[in-house]
Amino acid sequence: MRVPFLDLARTHDTIRAELDAAWHRVLDRSRYILGEEVEAFETEFAAYCGAEHAIGVANGLDALHLILRAHGIGHGDEVLVPSNTFIATWLAVSQVGAIPVAIEPDPDTYNMDPALAERAITSRTKALVPVHLYGQAADMTVLRALARRNGLLCVEDAAQAHGATFDGTRAGSLGDAAAFSFYPGKNLGALGDGGAITTSDPTMARRMRELANYGSSEKYVHRQQGVNSRLDELQAAVLRVKLRHLDAWNARRATIARLYHDALAPTGLALPQVDPRADAVWHLYVIRTDHRDALAAGLKRRGIDTQIHYPIAPADAEAYAGISVRGSSELGRRLGREILSLPIGPHMSDDEVRQVAAACLEVAETFHSPAA
């Protein structure tokens, strides 16, 4: 039996009637941009995150970019970002003309190491953008305090962490503002692109909402040179349905993570570690081994799909070639060679989880026996 990395169709089938009702509602109303679905979703998502405001935007990259721009981060400013993240975190910084400074992760949680962040602060540093990588919130208690002490903006890249908490507080209300992605494969995913910003600062919320809508909050009155980055009514209607299932889906992910953890303990593979203050939502289940490529190949032969998040550190991307990238990416680079993401998601059956775990045990066995 083949085990796919992700099977969205299986999950959507379980809520098909609700999804059908949602898009028929939008078609019947025939309003597609900035209508009541977006407004309702924003209210519901803000409440879910424990933030005062949510602003629907076109995708997660735009959410990050709009936050930085609205807060006046721009040319020559330095922004601390993880050395190991999806490149969007870096691109948002570059898009506003600022300089990404790579901060290495804690080797256990893979999230931004606050002590290393502190050491990287200069007089040009204006913001830090920790990522809640793989669904585990970064140490926001320390990072936010660090930002406050140094007068820096603290932005959460929460694209992988819908519903995650740190010290009991939800992602989306752990910093000054947070960026979410609703790319279909995320824990809360649309049927296309989508994103949101959350914040509890009313002035900034208004500014970002304007920026995302041609710099306008009143038709044909343009107060800023904005962009067009909006969540649409169809996606908002779908997201409202899926938000109601998010906690159950995240709980299923946590169960799968626990099954993996128990089954893989004897393998010698480095398993994910969760900070006791964090409640992770397991966007990805990422293991680490010196034999990564052999493990991936062995699993493939046994019908199991895996992925790597991410094989190339942003500092090494061609996009940053010829630019002297600041900060260190040594560990980020090494993780790119050693990490492997196993299938996880609400679609997975216990049988599939057991099949993946059994295959890992089988393949890992060969790492320690003499070459055959």
Ligand X SMILES: *Cc1c(COP(=O)(O)O)cnc(C)c1O
Residues that bind ligand X (CB under 6 A): 59-61, 85-86, 88-89, 131, 157, 159-160, 181, 183, 193, 195
Pick 89 or 267: Cβ nearer ligand X: 89
Tell me: cis bond preceding 134? Omega within 30 of 0 counts. no
- Give 298-364 as a DSSP string: HHHHTTB--B-S-SS-GGGSGGGTTS--EE--HHHHHHHHHEEEEP-STT--HHHHHHHHHHHHHHH
Pick 190 or 360: Cβ nearer ligand X: 190
Rounded Cα distance between 115 and 105, Å, is: 10
Q: Which residues of 59-98 are buried (b: 16+ CB within 10 A; e: fewer)?
A: bbbbbbbbbbbbbebeeebbbbbbbbbbbbbbbbbbbbeb
**Least spacing, CB of residue 9 vs ligand X, in Å:** 20
Q: Which two tokens stand for residue 157?
A: 């890249």
**Least spacing, CB of residue 90 vs ligand X, in Å:** 9
Pick 182 or 260: Cβ nearer ligand X: 182
**Least spacing, CB of residue 195 vs ligand X, in Å:** 5
Q: Which two tokens stand for residue 262?
A: 């128990």
**Least spacing, CB of residue 183 vs ligand X, in Å:** 4
Pick 129 or 353: Cβ nearer ligand X: 129
- What residue is closest to ligand X based on CB? 60
Rounded Cα distance between 227 and 210, Å, is: 9
Pick 131 or 238: Cβ nearer ligand X: 131
**Least spacing, CB of residue 160 vs ligand X, in Å:** 5
Q: Which two tokens stand for residue 170?
A: 């939800």
Pick 310 or 357: Cβ nearer ligand X: 310
Give 138's contacts (C-beta < 8 A, 6+ positions apart): 109, 111, 112, 130, 131, 132, 156, 166
Pick 231 or 269: Cβ nearer ligand X: 231
The gap from C-alpha 251 to its chain's centroid, in whole angstroms, comes to 17
**Least spacing, CB of residue 5 vs ligand X, in Å:** 15
Q: Is 104 helix (H, G, I), strand (E, B) or coil?
A: coil
Tokens 């990238």 belong to 325
Pick 11 or 355: Cβ nearer ligand X: 11
Pick 60 or 226: Cβ nearer ligand X: 60
| Amino acid, res. 60 | G
99 near 118, Cβ under 8 Å? no
The gap from C-alpha 24 to its chain's centroid, in whole angstroms, comes to 30
Rounded Cα distance between 148 and 31, Å, is: 42
**Least spacing, CB of residue 200 vs ligand X, in Å:** 21
**Least spacing, CB of residue 194 vs ligand X, in Å:** 7
**Least spacing, CB of residue 288 vs ligand X, in Å:** 18
**Least spacing, CB of residue 170 vs ligand X, in Å:** 17
| CB-facing half-sphere around the CA of 337: CA atoms within 13 A | 8
Q: Which two tokens stand for residue 361?
A: 């045990």
